[in-house]
Structure 1
Amino acid sequence: MSTSNTPVLPPAKLPGPNEPCWCGSGTKYKKCHRGEDSQARAPVPASRRVKPGVVSPRRPVPPHIPRPDYAETGRPGPGVQGDPATRVERMRKACRAAAEVLQVTSAALQPGVTTDAIDAIAHEEYIRRGGYPSTLNYHGFPKSLCTSVNEVILHGIPDSRPLEDGDIVNLDITIYLDGMHGDCSATFPVGKIDSVSEQLLRVTRECMMLGIEAIRPGLPINVIGRAIEAHASRYGYGVVRSYCGHGIGEVFHLEPQVCHYFDPRATDIIEEGMFFTVEPMLTMGSIQHQDWDDDWTVVTADGRRSAQFEHTIHVTRDGAEILTHLEG
Structure 2
Amino acid sequence: MIILKSPQEIDRMRIPCRIVAEILELLRQEIRPGVASMALNDLAEREARRRGAQPAFKGYSGYPYSLCCSLNEQVVHGMPNNRELIEGDILSIDFGVVYDGYYGDAAITLPLGNVSDSAKRLMEVTEESLYKAISVAIPDNRLFDISHAVQSYVEARGFSVVREFVGHGIGKNLHESPQVPNFGSPGRGVKLKAGMVLAIEPMINERGPDVKVLKDGWTAITCDGGLSAHFEHTVAITEHGPDILTKL
Same fold (TM over 0.5): yes
Equivalent residue in structure 1 for 2:216, among 294, 302, 305: 294
Q: Which amino acid aligns with 1:207?
A: S
TM-score (norm 1): 0.72
Give me the whole-angstrom Cα distance separating, in 1, the residues matched to 2:156 and 2:97. 35
The answer to whether residue 18 in structure 2 is matched with residue 92 in structure 1 is no
* Partners of 2:224 and 2:151 in 1: CA distance: 20
SS at match of 1:124: helix
Gaps in structure 1 of 5+ consecutive residues: 1-82
Q: Which amino acid aligns with 1:321?
A: D
Give the structure, 1 or 2, with the largest relative contact order (CA under 8 Å, sep 6 or more).
2
| Cα deviation, residue 84, structure 1 | 6.4
Q: Which has the larger radius of gyration?
A: 1
Q: Deviations over 1:207-234 (max 9, x none)?
A: 0000000111111100011111111112
Q: Which amino acid aligns with 1:128?
A: R
Evaluate the alpha carbon distance shift between residue 303 and residue 131 of structure 1 in structure 2; reply closer, same or farther with a 3 A threshold.
Answer: same
- 1:106/1:171 contact within 8 Å kept: no
Identity %: 36
1:306 — aligned with what? 228
Please give the secondary structure, in 2, of the residue aligned with 1:197: helix
Counterpart AA for 1:170: S
- 2:47 aligned residue: 125
Aligned to 2:136: 214
Report the counterpart of residue 21 of structure 1 in structure 2.
Answer: none
Alpha-carbon distance in structure 1 between the residues aligned to 2:37 and 2:188:
36
Which of 143, 147, 161 matches 1:225?
Answer: 147
Q: 1:275 and 1:306 mapped to 2: Cα distance?
A: 26
Quote the offset at 1:290 in angstroms.
Answer: 1.2
Residue type at the aligned position of 1:288 = D
Q: How big is the shift at 1:318?
A: 2.8
| SS of residue matched to 1:162 | coil
The 1:262–1:231 alpha-carbon spacing in structure 2 relative to 1, beyond 3 Å, is same
SS of the equivalent of 2:193 reads: coil
Partner of 1:140: 62
What whole-Å deviation, never above 9, does each CA across 1:165-207 have from its counterpart, x for those lacking one? 0000011110111111100010000111111111111110000
CA distance in 1, matches of 2:118, 2:65: 31
CA deviation after TM superposition for structure 1 residue 86, in Å? 3.6
1:150 partnered with 2:65: no
Rounded to whole Å, the distance in 1 between the matches of 2:88 and 2:176 is: 36
Residues 209 and 222, structure 2, Cα contact 8 Å, conserved in 1: yes
AA paired with 1:312?
T
CA shift digits 1:30-78 (9 cap, x unpaired): xxxxxxxxxxxxxxxxxxxxxxxxxxxxxxxxxxxxxxxxxxxxxxxxx
- More strand as a share of residues: 2
**Secondary structure in 2 aligned to 1:193?**
coil
* TM alignment of 1:163-182, pairs within 5 A: 163-182=85-104
Contact 2:203–2:230, Cα closer than 8 Å, also in 1: yes
Give the direction of change, closer, same or farther, for the CA distance of 1:266–1:157 in structure 2 (3 Å limit): farther
TM-score, normalising length from structure 2? 0.95
In the alignment, structure 2 segments of 5+ residues that lack a partner are none
Does 1:112 pair with 2:34?
yes
